[in-house]
């Protein structure tokens, strides 16, 4: 099988001051992303585990249970392939590479939750949304998956959305974080 | 703002949900009369008080569920337990 085309993000970040200030916003869309749908009781669901709404790093990949019957796996293409390669897909279970259909941004900083709260109705307080939590929610009216995965105790949120909304959402997040310097 | 208690996601803003309205069973298209179809498609009970209604957690867990809402006060109650696909009462 031919290699898939190299990933090119459609999001223009240059000139958007994405990295300036105390909150950084980065486009991490090139990260390989896989979705696993698996019904209750299937071997794949048991192997991936986690409670709905939770995420954890496993070696080189990040695994998040974003729906009761859906997991997402992020990492390099080799790491994701290695993690999912041995998965038993018997029963109602399947994996799809969603690298090219979903974009991923990462917003990091002590005030990142305040910026997120401007565009999303989720409670981003630590007890409700600790590191290792994930939710599906609308961000600036775009249906997104949000995964909190802190970097050295600094709050950091990965935000995934459909590719076609990427530039709008990126610009909306730049706008939301602007007042926090 | 209406806080809808999703059985999987917990209380969420109704803007994260899609409203499904009153649940009515669909009549058999082979035997239903035009009156029955019209009733099914267009007529609603519109009761004052507690009603059972459908919601879809469109941006959260993407599950359908039923719960009860008081049409005068807006109170919501009796969401199903997590994992219970139908839920609600009646
Ligand atoms: Zn939900």
Write the burial class of residue A30 (CB in 10 Å: 0-12 exposed, 13-18 middle, 19+ buried): middle
How is residue A151 annotated by DSSP? B
- Output the CA torsion sign for A144, A148, A150, A154: positive
Rounded to whole angstroms, how far apart are CA atoms A24 and A4?
A: 30
Ligand 1 mean position to B7 CA, how many Å? Answer: 6
- Domain holding B61: CATH number? 3.30.2270.10
CA distances from B56 to A65, A105, B25, B60 (A): 19, 27, 17, 9
pTM exceeds cut of 0.80: yes
> Which pair of structure tokens corresponds to residue B35?
């009156």
CA distances from B44 to A31, B21, B53, B89 (A): 49, 9, 11, 18
In contact, A68 and B83? CB cutoff 8 Å = yes
Report pLDDT for A18.
Answer: 65
How many angstroms from the chain centroid is the CA of residue A164? 16
Report pLDDT for A20.
Answer: 61
Q: What is the pLDDT along chain A (181 residues), one digit of tens a residue?
A: 566 677 888 888 876 766 666 899 999 999 999 999 999 999 999 999 999 999 999 999 999 999 999 999 999 999 999 999 989 999 999 999 999 999 999 999 999 999 999 999 999 999 999 999 999 999 999 999 999 999 999 999 999 999 999 999 999 999 999 998 7
Helix (H) or strand (E) run with residue A44 in it: helix A43-48
Residues 6+ apart with CB under 8 A from B33: none
Report pLDDT for B78.
Answer: 84
- B90 versus A33: which is more confidently predicted? A33
Rounded to whole angstroms, how far apart are CA atoms A75 and B50?
A: 49
Could you read off the pLDDT of B6-19 as tens digits, one per residue? 999 999 999 899 99
Could you read off the pLDDT of A124-146 as tens digits, one per residue? 999 999 999 999 999 999 999 99
Q: Which domains does chain A have, with CATH numbers?
A: 19-30+101-180 (3.30.1360.120), 32-97 (3.30.70.1520)
Report pLDDT for B89.
Answer: 36
End-to-end, the C-alpha distance of chain A in Å comes to: 48
Selected residue of B16, B57, B81, B83 to mutate for chain A interface (largest A Cβ count, 10 A): B16
Cβ contact A68–B60 (<8 Å):
no
Average pLDDT, chain A: 92
- Closest residue, chain A, to B11 (C-alpha): A122
- Domain hosting residue B34, numbered range: 3-87
Could you read off the pLDDT of B44-66 as tens digits, one per residue? 888 999 999 999 999 999 999 99
Report pLDDT for A4.
Answer: 66
Q: How many domains does chain B have?
A: 1
> Which pair of structure tokens corresponds to residue A125?
């307080």
ipTM of the prediction: 0.81
Going edge to edge, which strands form the sheet with A32-38? A55-58, A61-67, A70-75, A32-38, A93-97
- Establish if B4 touches chain A: CB-CB under 8 angstroms: no
Cβ contact B59–A144 (<8 Å):
yes
Report pLDDT for B88.
Answer: 41
Is 60 exceeded by the pLDDT of residue B84? no
- Closest residue, chain A, to B61 (C-alpha): A67
Rounded to whole angstroms, how far apart are CA atoms A138 and B59?
A: 6
Write the burial class of residue B25 (CB in 10 Å: 0-12 exposed, 13-18 middle, 19+ buried): exposed
Q: Within 13 Å, how many C-alpha atoms sit on residue A125's CB side? A: 3
- Establish if B84 touches chain A: CB-CB under 8 angstroms: no
The single residue listed with the structure tokens 């990462």 is: A106
> Which pair of structure tokens corresponds to residue B62?
């993407």
Report pLDDT for B87.
Answer: 43
> How many CB atoms sit inside 10 A of residue A179's CB?
12
């Amino acid at each position: 099988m031919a290699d898939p085309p190299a990933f090119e993000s459609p999001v223009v970040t240059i000139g958007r001051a994405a990295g300036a200030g105390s909150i950084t916003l980065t486009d991490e869309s090139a990260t390989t992303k896989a979705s696993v749908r698996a019904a209750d009781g299937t071997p794949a669901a048991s192997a991936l585990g986690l409670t709905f709404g939770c995420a954890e790093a496993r070696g080189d990949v990040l695994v998040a249970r974003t729906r009761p019957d859906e997991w997402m796996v992020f990492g390099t293409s080799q790491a994701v392939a290695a993690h999912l390669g041995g998965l038993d897909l018997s029963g109602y279970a399947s994996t799809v590479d969603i690298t090219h259909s979903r974009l991923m941004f990462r917003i990091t900083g002590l005030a990142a939750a305040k910026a997120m709260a401007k565009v999303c109705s989720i409670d981003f307080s630590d007890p409700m949304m600790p590191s290792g939590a994930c939710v599906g929610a609308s961000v600036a009216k775009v249906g997104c998956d949000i995964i909190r995965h802190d970097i050295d105790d600094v709050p950091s949120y990965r935000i995934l959305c459909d590719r076609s909304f990427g530039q709008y959402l990126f610009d909306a997040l730049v706008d939301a974080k602007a007042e926090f310097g | 703002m209406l806080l809808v208690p999703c059985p999987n996601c917990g209380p969420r803003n109704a803007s994260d949900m899609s409203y499904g309205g009153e649940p009515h069973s669909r009549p058999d298209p082979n035997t239903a009369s035009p009156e029955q179809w019209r009733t099914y498609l267009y007529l609603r009970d519109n009761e004052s008080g507690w009603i059972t209604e459908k919601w879809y957690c469109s941006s959260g867990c993407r599950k359908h569920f039923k719960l009860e809402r008081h049409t005068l006060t807006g109170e919501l109650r009796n969401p199903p337990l997590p994992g219970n696909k139908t839920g609600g009462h009646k």
